[in-house]
Amino acid sequence: MSKQDDATRRTVLKFLGVTASVGAVGAGHAGARMLDGAPNSTDVSTESSLALDDVAVSEEWPQVQGNAAKTGVASSGPRSNVGVAWQFGADDEQSYGDPVVADGAVYATTEEGLVSLTTEGEFRWFADAAGDEEFRYSAPAVDGDTVYVAAKAAETDCNEKTGSALVALDVEDGTEQGRTPLDGGNDSYQSLTVDDGMVYAFGTETMTDGGTLLAIDTASGEEQWRFGVEGSGIASLNSSPAAVSDGAVYLASDRLYALDAETGEEQWVAETSALKSMQEATPTVVGDTVYVGAGRYEDTVYAVDTEDGSIRWENQPDGPGYGVGYWTSAAVAGDYVVFGFQPVEEGRTRGHYAFDREDGSVAWNVTGTVVAPAATEDLVYTGRKALNAADGSVAWEFGDDVPFGTTAPAVVDDTVYVGGASLTAITGDTV
């Protein structure tokens, strides 16, 4: 037995052991713990004047933020009578990343690889895409019968180039279908984007050398084109790759770029501040507007015209500053586009902000734990709670007595899936 096979066997046995012990707690889904604890609920407001006709809406959640346009919008989600349906891995000392959901299966990466469950919380398979080395993994992305994950060496100097790869796995059993080398690999890939037979992955070469967006054909695994950006010091770190809409790719890196999705040719570059600085923001595309938040050097949110890259509005809610914080990826909720803001200096508000999509004014902000949100037309999901999109009031929330962590949520039908110290499914009525 090889080192890789032995390591994978030990990890699978660990997951199976966790499944058995959790399932033994009581009746419910196999391999899952049913938790007591109802959320605190208030009335759900349905006030919203701006229709979602131009917004990409997800029936499933096959990639981070739900779809290639990265709108973070689900067709429905739990509204009332909400509770924890199941929890997986609470006792295995793993940390689970942002989950994705497709065709009745849930996928999330850990420090050791990629795990797949059914939507009822039952263990399906585990895949160690790294082999003999210790790797870090991006959030996965599902396209048809393949799930993709980017992997990079975990222990490397920040200015050392390493062998990273985009790995394709079979959704049925996790067997490897192929891998494509990714340049550099200093970056800890935050997410992948899949759209129209292409998967997009962005990686930095070193801390100061900028990075490269690769467009890879999902059928052949071959690189179709690449687009390099200049370095801007630490502003190159932790870049999510791209949003894709109507034949264009929008890349947030040292600036916001628009590229031709077929050729990778640059269409325009917007005159924003440096967008990337140790944050996880990806552009959100709605109709003829791209919304994106700047990074640690300048905490500004921008709305950019997709036609020519001109800035429609910009807003710096807490005033100017240097090294003040970063914005998460956004979700569109009716009239508003909602970002999370994580400050890195005192005097800044930690929480979620709703910006008017038309003029950029702040409609409301709510303090609390910051994750990249998800939304329906009238609710915003932030992991442990749901907010009314109209005014930011709490629709429902879980108290600290219900133990689960939060990551960017995936919302499908009547369930919110979150990662963290466990994979947790929160379910409820959709009406």
- Give the C-alpha separation, 264 to 192, whole Å: 17
Six token digits for residue 111: 């420090």
Mean pLDDT, residues 365-392 taken together: 92
Read off the amino acid at residue 283.
P
Question: Comparing C-alpha atoms, which of 99, 114, 116, 117 is closest to residue 62?
Answer: 99
**42-56, 146-160, 168-182, 197-211: the lowest-pLDDT one:** 42-56
**423 pLDDT exceeds 60?**
yes
What is the structure's pLDDT at 128? 84
- Give the C-alpha separation, 334 to 328, whole Å: 19
What is the structure's pLDDT at 26? 28
- Give the C-alpha separation, 332 to 55, whole Å: 8
Q: Using one digit for the tens of pLDDT, what is the confidence trace for 75-101?
A: 999 999 999 999 998 877 788 989 999
**409 pLDDT exceeds 70?**
yes
Q: Confidence class of residue 9 from pLDDT cuts 50, 70 and 90?
A: very low
For residue 409, CA distances in Å to 174, 183, 286, 383, 385 come to 23, 29, 20, 6, 11
- Give the C-alpha separation, 374 to 72, whole Å: 5
- Give the C-alpha separation, 202 to 197, whole Å: 17
Read off the amino acid at residue 365.
N
**17-21, 324-328, 343-347: the lowest-pLDDT one:** 17-21
Q: Confidence class of residue 253 from pLDDT cuts 50, 70 and 90?
A: confident
What is the structure's pLDDT at 41? 55
SS3 6: helix
For the chain, the C-alpha Rg in angstroms (whole number) is 20
User: Across the chain, what does the average pLDDT equal?
Assistant: 80
**235 pLDDT exceeds 60?**
no
- Domains with residue ranges and CATH for the chain: 3-429 (2.130.10.10)
- Give the C-alpha separation, 13 to 16, whole Å: 5
Question: Would you say the C-alpha torsion 5, 11, 16, 21 has a positive or negative sign?
Answer: positive
Instruction: Give this prediction's pTM.
Output: 0.87
Q: Using one digit for the tens of pLDDT, what is the confidence trace for 273-282?
A: 666 544 566 8
Question: Comparing C-alpha atoms, which of 412, 358, 349 is closest to residue 381?
Answer: 412
- Give the C-alpha separation, 415 to 430, whole Å: 9
- Give the C-alpha separation, 402 to 37, whole Å: 6
Question: Comparing C-alpha atoms, which of 33, 114, 149, 66 is closest to residue 412?
Answer: 66
- Give the C-alpha separation, 108 to 20, whole Å: 20
Question: Would you say the C-alpha torsion 268, 150, 176, 29 has a positive or negative sign?
Answer: negative
Q: Using one digit for the tens of pLDDT, what is the confidence trace for 25-79?
A: 223 332 333 344 445 555 555 454 445 568 899 999 999 999 999 999 999 999 9
